[in-house]
């Protein structure tokens, strides 16, 4: 996973060759992020309402994929 940091935000980029179930990869990486945030002991947090994920591909991607962080569904951005 590649991390791009901004002054007020972060972008996580994950390359996945299997588009059959992209939510598996997204959910696995979000679990890692949430565990890392717990380690930070309240110095950083994730605002789920501002968190989005996007699939970019030249192939057909599963339009019914979902991602979660701490049991909260993450909105998929289509643009």
pLDDT digits 0-9 by tens, 12-47: 887 777 665 666 777 888 888 888 888 877 677 888
Residues 56 and 15: their CA atoms lie apart, in Å, by 10
Calpha distance 31→4 (Å, rounded): 18
Q: What percent of the chain has pLDDT over 90?
A: 0
Is 80 exceeded by the pLDDT of residue 74? yes
Beta strands in the chain (DSSP E): 2-5, 10-13, 52-53, 67-69, 72-76
How much is the pLDDT for 78? 76
CA distance 53 to 49: 12
**How many domains does the chain fold into?**
1
Residue 77: CB partners within 8 Å, gap ≥ 6?
52, 53, 54
Quick check: 10 pLDDT over 70?
yes
Supply the pTM of this predicted model. Answer: 0.68
Residue range(s) defining the domain that contains residue 19: 2-76
């Amino acid at each position: 996973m590649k991390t791009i940091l901004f002054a007020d935000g972060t972008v996580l980029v994950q390359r996945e060759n299997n588009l059959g179930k992209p939510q598996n990869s997204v959910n696995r990486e979000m679990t890692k992020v949430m565990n890392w945030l717990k380690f930070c002991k309240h110095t950083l947090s994730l605002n789920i309402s501002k968190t989005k994920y996007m699939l970019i591909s030249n192939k057909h991607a599963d339009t019914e994929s979902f991602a979660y962080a701490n049991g909260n569904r993450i909105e998929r951005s289509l643009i």
